[in-house]
A = this chain, B = another copy of it.
Amino acid sequence: MTPESIKVACSNCNLRELCMPVGLSPEELQRLDSLVATRRKVRRKELLFHNGEQFVSLYAIRTGVFKTRITSEDGRDQVTGFQMAGEIIGLDGIVNDRHTCDAVALEDSEVCVMPFDRIEELSREVSALQRHVHQIMSREIVREHGVMLLLGSMRAEERLAAFLLNLVQRLHARGFSASELVLRMTREEIGSYLGLKLETVSRTLSKFVDDGVVEVNQRHVRILDAEALRRMVNPTVCA
């Protein structure tokens, strides 16, 4: 039995709590299984979709990590996010029926392909799904507000601290360590996301190491003093 032929079923997927609504009746849950048309494997460095491509489906990440990036006409690009298991990508394509960014796998990954017209059809009938879709989109909007705050008002140290805390928190929610993580992206990609140059990312990381806040070995990072990172992001008002 090849992996491809395994029955695709959200109802018994271990990521269900992450990407599906909760509190569904068994009957509703079963209907949602039909959302996932198929699964698709994407190897490291390959694109799940790219700018200009016809928009057809949203994708739920089963395994692996992606980055999304936009490219301006003059060739600059900006990483707009890093996505991991249970997160939904492709929302950018809805407005104009074309994707406006690239989604690149940072490691070998697998996604569930959910044709958007099927999502719309089903969410007209299952209001819990409708609500869920709205929440996912709203959550993305709120996330981006946070990134705007970061890019607009934080200094390099604060940005990197916020980035590490966010990553480790999301990994922890997925059952990984609350203090150790493996960066799936390069310094340059981190820099692009944070509005910094790769040298600045590297230097700032080195500073964290000097200060005893983290340990860094290549892509492996261990957070020694999460409290210190939190203080950087959120300078406590000295009372």
List residues of chain A with CB under 8 Å of any chain B CB.
Answer: 70, 72-78, 80, 91-95, 100-101, 120, 123-125, 127, 130-131, 133-135, 137-142, 144-149, 151-153, 192-195, 234-237
Contact = CB atoms under 8 A, between A and B. Distances in A.
Contact of A145 (B125, B144, B192): B144
A235 B149 CA distance: 26
A201 to B, nearest CB: 13
The 6 closest A-B pairs by CB, nearest first: A94-B138, A152-B195, A151-B151, A144-B144, A137-B137, A78-B149
Query: In the complex, which of the residues A76, A135, A142, A237 has the most CB atoms of chain B within 10 Å of its own CB atom?
Result: A142
B149 A92 contact: no
B135 A234 contact: no
Query: In the complex, which of the residues A137, A138, A152, A235 has the most CB atoms of chain B within 10 Å of its own CB atom?
Result: A152
Given A78-B148, A92-B138, A123-B124, 11 more contacts: A73-B234, A91-B137, A94-B134, A94-B138, A100-B142, A120-B127, A120-B131, A124-B125, A124-B130, A140-B141, A151-B195
Copies of this chain present in the complex amount to 2
